[in-house]
Amino acid sequence: MPAPREYEVVLTPEEQGGYSVAVPALPGCASQGETRDQALAMIREAIEVYLESLEAHGDPIPGPIEIERVTVGA
């Protein structure tokens, strides 16, 4: 069994309800869910499939990226 990996995800509440969720370190890896917990479960599955596809094609597995919060006055 491969070692666990951790990725930062971005949850965005949607106007019509639910959440969209994306993984900045994995371009194109995104999902959604009706609740926050469902969205997180869905993105876990999407990440697993994404990484399996990279491995199957012999592509490198991206490492974590650095995320920082910035405050602006606008």
Helix or strand holding residue 40 (H, E): helix 36-56
Could you list the pLDDT tens digit for every one of the 74 residues in the chain? 667 888 999 999 999 999 999 999 999 999 999 999 999 999 999 999 999 999 999 999 998 788 888 999 98
* E strand spans, the chain: 10-13, 19-22, 30-33
pTM for this prediction: 0.85
Q: Domain extents for the chain?
A: 35-59
